[in-house]
Amino acid sequence: MLKIGLATLGCKVNQCDSAALSENLKSAGFSLVPFNNFADAYIINTCTVTAFADFQARQLIRRALRQNPAARIVVTGCYAQTQPLLLAGMEGVAHVVGNDHKHKITELLCRPASDTPQIMAGDILRQQRFPSASASGLAGRTRAFFKIQDGCGAFCSYCIVPFARGPSRSLPFREVLEGARNFIDQGFREIVLTGIHLGDYGHDLQPRTGLVRALEVLLSNHPETRFRLSSIEPNEISDELLGLFKRFVNLCPHLHIPLQSGDDSILKSMKRGYDTAFYRLLIENIAQTAADIAVGIDVMVGFPGEGEKEFCRTMELLEKIPAAYLHVFPYSERPGTAAVELQPKVPTMVKKERAAAVRALGAKKREAFSRRFLGSVLPVLVEKTRDKHTGLAKGFSHNYLPVLLDKSAVSLVNNLVNVRIDQILDGKLIGRVLDE
């Protein structure tokens, strides 16, 4: 039985791909071991959304080579799709497998190794196949992450994802229903629907459907299961979608909505397809429509052409809108994207300073949002892991607030419990379970 070490970088979609790959490997008779252990082969499922993600992938290749110089090293994922020749030239790499051939990795490892590096990466922009979706949860997770969509056709000027993932494709509606049922049968109490461009779900299917229709069926068929949405684009949040938060208590009041910039000229250069007035009204409407909803926001700083004036507009907008937390990313130039040609470039140090300023604002917003729920009772799903600083049990509320619980709550793992929030300690909510 050959031992396989698998490492995953990047988004939840990549993690879902790794979960499916893990199941295929185990079914074929391979034994999965921690990536840091000795293995006969190592698989690195890469991300390429930033230069740092590329760097991390190269580090993992070198680490695998140190652990077993004789191992077969397979590099797959988004970096493998966009830079196969570069990766094939790295010492120790036996196979470079793009996203369009990721489903063939198990078959590849069942064959004898070649003397020279092999590349399996085609034209992802012509891809029509939906990559396999795992019916198994990610190892060690209480919540199930379920990929129902892949790819993107938006071609934002800074983004390499369409070239790494291909066009938007959807998991057939029937398979969405079957997949959710499988997760529930395995005991998962929360399912997170994920995708590269989740709001585009169903538009490519025959008959055509949409995310709202899929959610209606899932929520009504499984009232005891929580469903959560991963990131969704602002211009794909309809009144019908918001109406679901009123109709179904098992739809978690939590949306993650990319903004990227609070300056209209920068948004236009990014090819984002909306302006700041639209975005501000959207967030305000969401806050008024869904009680207790947490809105997370992606913000990119240092995009070409972003001067002090443009950055200040971003800060002003973020200060005004009701956000629960901010995810901040310094702009990372990606070869092959339109933004590479844009000028003027923002110095690295300036990008770091601006990112720090937005993160400080995000910490204030997170604290303010959390404090709203002191004395409240929140439904919390108890997680498997404990808080590493306090040793307390932990979980997530319906609106994505991390909550620390008494140590006795460890026995309630994977249970939805009502928790009274008593205090905030170092920015973390602490509560006590009211029912078991």
pLDDT digits (tens, 9 = 90+) for 50-81: 999 999 999 999 999 999 999 999 999 999 99
CB 295 within 8 A of CB 322: yes
Tell which wins on pLDDT, 127 or 403: 403
Q: Is the pLDDT score of 138 beyond 80?
A: no
Helix (H) or strand (E) holding 7: strand 3-8
Shortest CA distance to 295 belongs to which of 328, 331, 325? 325
**At residue 135, does pLDDT exceed 90?**
no
If one compares 390 and 109, the residue with the highest pLDDT of the two is 109
pLDDT over 90 at 130, yes or no: no
Q: Give me the mean pLDDT over the 32-37 stretch.
A: 96
Residue 111 C-alpha from the chain's centroid: 33
Which pLDDT band holds residue 317 (cuts at 50, 70, 90)? very high
The CA distance from 142 to 383, in Å, is 6
Residue 167 to residue 359: CA distance in whole angstroms = 32
Strands in 132-244 per DSSP E: 144-147, 149-150, 169-170, 190-194, 226-229
Give the 3-state secondary structure of 332-378. Answer: CCCCCCHHHHCCCCCCHHHHHHHHHHHHHHHHHHHHHHHHCCCCCEE
Render pLDDT for 142-170 as a digit per residue (tens, 0 to 9). 889 999 999 999 999 999 999 999 999 99
Query: Does the pLDDT of residue 436 top 60, yes or no?
Result: no
Per-residue model confidence (pLDDT) at position 384: 83
| Nearest CA-CA partner of 428 in 380, 413, 138 | 380
pLDDT band for 410, please (50, 70, 90 cuts): confident
Helices (H), 290-344: 308-320
pLDDT of residue 1: 78
Q: What is the pLDDT of residue 139?
A: 56
- Structure letter (DSSP) for residue 251: B
Structural domains of the chain, with CATH:
3-122 (3.40.50.12160), 125-252 (3.30.750.210), 259-286+294-372 (3.30.750.200), 377-433 (2.40.50)
Mean confidence (pLDDT) of the chain: 94
Lowest mean pLDDT among 360-369, 371-380, 387-396: 387-396
Residue 243, H or E segment: helix 239-247
Q: Which residues of 195-205 are buried (b: 16+ CB within 10 A; e: fewer)?
A: bbbbbbbbbbe
Residue 137 has pLDDT above 80, yes or no: no
Question: pTM of this prediction?
Answer: 0.93
Q: What percentage of residues in the chain have a pLDDT greater than 90?
A: 87
Closest Cα to residue 367, out of 398, 329, 323?
323
Instruction: Provide the pLDDT for residue 368.
Output: 95
Q: How confident is the model at residue 114 (pLDDT cuts 50, 70, 90)?
A: confident
Amino acid 162: pLDDT: 96
5: left (phi over 0), alpha (psi -120 to 50) or beta: beta
